[in-house]
Structure 1
Amino acid sequence: MKLNSIHNVYFVGVGGIGMSALARYFVANGKSVAGYDKTPTDITASLEDLGVAVHFEDGIANIPSEFKNAETTLVVFTPAIPKDHAELNYFKAGGFQVLKRSQILGLITENTFCLAVAGTHGKTTTTSILGHLMNVCDVPVTAFLGGISENYNSNLILNGTEVSVVEADEFDRSFLTLSPDLACITSMDADHLDIYGDASELKKSFEEFSKRVKSNGKLFVKNGLPISGITYGIEDDADYSVKNIKIVNGTYVFDVKTPTTVLENLEFNLPGRHNLSNALIALAMAVEYGCPNQQLAKALASYKGVKRRFTYQIKTDDLVFIDDYAHHPEEINAVYQAVREMYPSKKVLAVFQPHLFSRTRDFVDEFAASLAQFDELLLLDIYPARELPIEGVTAQWLLEKVNNNNKKLVSKTELLTEIHKSEAKVILTIGAGDIGEEVKRIKKEFSVAN
């Protein structure tokens, strides 16, 4: 299929973070773009500002007439869309070209020099760092991000079409549609067991992804992972390694040992060793691509982060409020490490919304252990996303397993009241569901209070 022969692109689930990046890309390339999503959000509003026609009720009559021609319209959908979706079934039955988001990424990137970031954690931050580094080094790059970059206020960096930077998503084995020139694997912790069944199947799919790297390409792997490649790590004997870490006014200052040299006194502003690891692999890939070291150092220091990835909402002497997308026990551990490193003596209150019944069931003991580390815990009900309830899998069940005396199950309506009761000087909201909507209310409430 040739994308340049397509005039119209219709998105079923246009408000998704990955889908909306593609929608922006097609608008920038002169295509007519429209789509459906379940609910209005800041993302759908920003798409409408670009001229994308978005509607929020599933109905064939809501599809603009120009998008009902199968010869000129490409349809993109996300696997999160239910199988009984009327519009999606209309397109499938009508002979339209209907492709998943991952397949479109495969088509867009196949004629570019492609840098792909894989791993169960760290993809979005690493991809956005890498896209920023390449952009500042004036590489003709298009970067598709799984989050909103603070530097660009967008999930798309568009500076040319010769090079692409993408997240290689293991969900639904999507990353097997890519054939990257440079790729990395940041982590292979068990996740998405609703798709894979068990951790060994997930590992096999990462092994399969590693074989998708072009024969003359390069694969980078975090030191210790059971896949061979160029290694990277923090303060170890990897091919690329961070050394001599200091924290100066909340900023990491460190050296990076590469296979050929040492880059000294680099600066990076995101807290947490996990973010330092993400910065290292992004830097390593940019170095291997050929970006100049001096420009890379400036680019790294100017990186601001991704929204909902350890994002400061309030930062005063009296109160710190941080929001993070963490939805897996290892990600929660990483957030805890970061907040403890930055605020070693302050009391920390965590507000957590579990994401998916299946993930809660599969990792309940690991979630309980990671959440028990915080001084206080407020737990919201499980956000179901694409799933139906599983008998016995509830937030109360998880809460009972958390070994912490300062814990409580709360509803969203009780949340502000319960936070007010706390003496904690650091508030964390964590989770991948709709807890992001609560962040605005908490920020407003406590900005006024302070």
Structure 2
Amino acid sequence: MTSNLQAYRGSLLHFLADPAFSAQSHDWFEDGLLIVADGKVQAAGDYAALHATLPPGAVVHDYSGKLLMPGFIDTHLHYPQTDMIASPSAGLLPWLETYTFPSERQFEDSHHAANVADFFLDELLRCGTTTAMVYCTVHPQSVDAFFAAAEQRNLRMVAGKVMMDRNCPDFLRDTAETSARDTEALIQRWHKRGRALYAITPRFAPTSTEAQLQLAGELALAYPDTFIQTHVSENEAECAWVRELFPNSRSYIDVYDSYGMMRPRAMYGHCIWLDERDRQRMAETRSAAAICPTSNLFLGSGLFDFERADAAGVPLSLATDVGGGTSFSMLQTMNEAYKVARLKGSYLPALRMFYLATLGAARAMQLEGTVGSFVQGAEADFIVIDPQATPLLQRRTARVNSLEELLFALALLGDDRAIAATYAAGQQVHVRETT
């Protein structure tokens, strides 16, 4: 116990396993205590048992009536698309051409990139998201701006420069060689600096030549503890385009596999139009799926199949996919994920949705024990959720009879207003304004 120890009292929840596969999936203490020191979790459990272990004079922050949980983890989103969220379009490909690419052009300006990065991170924290896997633009300065803003807030963030050397406007096009050179320099500058982690980031197969994908795979081999992030099988028209561009590949995901890009710490956005062999290969390589329900519905891309992904053993996580996604809030993302599952004939309990946004995401990213839970030694990234944040939530949660009902109400009725406070490495980085 160190001199800077802090304790937080409230209802406490964190996960031990996936509720879909384990009856002992979580720890729940209706009157709990979280003990933090030096930015790490020291203990988490029942208040009556742990309070007696506190040293004399220890500060106890009282959040009674609120829920303490690990911070949310968002495994797929684009910070350069912040200013174009909620832009109308008939589909993915025209949306990219009309809004995305012109917006990303502005990130050649470092001051613009820094301004957007500041807003983006503050918005994540306001919504209770403490870790994210983030796409920057082709401009190395966009990565520098993002990581500098995250470092200022001491956040555990994963990000990378987009690699894109064809089928895009000239003003956003790099080359296979320059993209690999820039990526390696950024890895050496940022990966594992403080809480920063680097992701090798080809945008998606259609915007990379075979030479660029080859170099991306070589970087992934040379730096095995980096992350990989890209898109796969989001949209039927996109999948047809990939078949034309890569006629020798068995499937869209096989394109990436052939270049050595399926491995632990590889995160594939969307994963809607996969076949059984694709899912089997993801499970074999521990490549993970980032499920993006709000953007998939917004762009009409399709419905993620939870049942088949679970049957294959694919590592799963939830993601907002801002700006195709329409909310920074992981609670709103759970709301849409629940409905997507119902439309595909599956049922997502609230416990599982909260697992996928915390420990499940950490596992998918190979960061279990670092973030996503309250195990001893984990980084103290946590949030305070207020079940009485709105009049409707207050009325509904007053009538719940179980933890599942409480979480379900938060997922279906909650948004950024339900996040009373956010902490990163034990320091408060957001507190909800009250009138």
How high is the TM-score relative to the length of structure 2?
0.26
How high is the TM-score relative to the length of structure 1?
0.25
Q: Which has more radius of gyration?
A: 1
Which of structures 1 and 2 has the larger relative contact order (alpha carbons within 8 angstroms, sep 6+)? 2
